[in-house]
Amino acid sequence: MRHSVRSTSLLLIGFIAVAIAVPSIATERHDHDGHFAKHHPRRDQVLDRTQRQNHRITHEVREGDLSHGQAHALRLNDRSIAQQQRAAAKANGGFITRQQQKSLNAELNSNSKLIGH
C-alpha cells in the first residue's frame, strides 16, 4: 500500500496533536498504595498492539509495500502512542483509564490502516 509523503506528514502532525491532548484526558486516578503497575492489562494491551504493528511494518517493507521512509513515519507514530501511554500511566499512578485506552487504540487503528495487511 503506497501513501504520499503529504498524507503521512499530515497523519504524523495529527498524532503529535493528540499526544499533547491525551495527558489532559486523565479523569480517573488509580493509585493503589503508590504502586506503579508496569503490567496493568490496559497498558499491556496497548503496548502489545504497538509491538505487533512494528512487526507488520517490518513485514510490509520486506514485501515492498512500504518504503523505508513510510516505515519510519509509521514507527514514529507507534513510538508516540507508546510514549503517550507511559505519560498517561505516570499521571494515573501506573494505570491508564478506559477512556485513555480507547483514545490510544483509536490512534493505533489509524496507524494500522496505513500499514496495510
The reply to whether 83 falls in a domain is yes
Distance CA 96, CA 94 (A): 7
Query: Using the 8-state DSSP alphabet, how is residue 111 labeled?
Result: H
Helices (H) and strands (E) in the chain, counts: 4, 0
* pTM (two decimals): 0.65
The reply to whether 81 falls in a domain is yes
Domain count for the chain, please give it: 1
Once rounded to an integer, what is the mean pLDDT over residues 30-34?
42
The reply to whether 99 falls in a domain is yes
Range of the domain at 50: 5-20+39-115
Once rounded to an integer, what is the mean pLDDT over residues 78-104?
93
Torsion sign over Cα 77, 80, 82, 84: negative
Distance CA 111, CA 109 (A): 5
The predicted-structure confidence for 94-117, as pLDDT tens digits, reads as follows 889 999 999 999 999 999 999 987
The reply to whether 31 falls in a domain is no
CA dihedral defined by 105, 7, 78, 66, rounded to 10 degrees? 120
The predicted-structure confidence for 64-78, as pLDDT tens digits, reads as follows 999 999 999 999 999
Mean pLDDT of the chain: 79
Distance CA 105, CA 35 (A): 24
The reply to whether 97 falls in a domain is yes
Distance CA 87, CA 73 (A): 21
Q: Any idea how long the chain is?
A: 117
